[in-house]
Amino acid sequence: MEANTLESAIALTKKFTSKPSNEELLKLYSLYKQATEGDNHEDRPGGFDFVAAAKYNSWLALKGKSKDDASLEYVNLVNQLATKYM
């Protein structure tokens, strides 16, 4: 099974039989946010919330990438991960 749209890729991730690595999950998160919302304009998380900071920084690193490009990269990454986690 292979995804070809953002929606089908999201559905495919729900069929993974094991959890991707934290690095892979972070990449999925940032590409999804860029594809659906565009550039990160949220406030930087404060304190010691390292998970929120990692998510914020990962998304911020994609600044300037078009929603279409981010969507395509997300789909390609999900298809790649599906070979490992399904």
Residues 56-76 have pLDDT tens digits of 999 999 999 999 999 999 999
Q: Does the pLDDT value for residue 46 go beyond 90?
A: no
The overall pTM is greater than 0.85: yes
Closest CA to 50 of 26, 76, 77: 26
**Cα–Cα distance measured from residue 80 to residue 86, given in angstroms and rounded to the nearest whole number:** 11
Q: Could you tell me the pLDDT band of residue 48, with boundaries at 50, 70 and 90?
A: very high
What is the reported pLDDT for 1? Answer: 75
- As a whole number of Å, the CA-based R_g of the chain is 13
| Residue type (1 letter), 65 | K
Q: What is the mean pLDDT of residues 40-52?
A: 93
**Cα–Cα distance measured from residue 79 to residue 14, given in angstroms and rounded to the nearest whole number:** 13
Domain coordinates of the chain in residue numbers? 6-85
- So what CATH class is 6-85? mainly alpha
What is the reported pLDDT for 13? Answer: 96
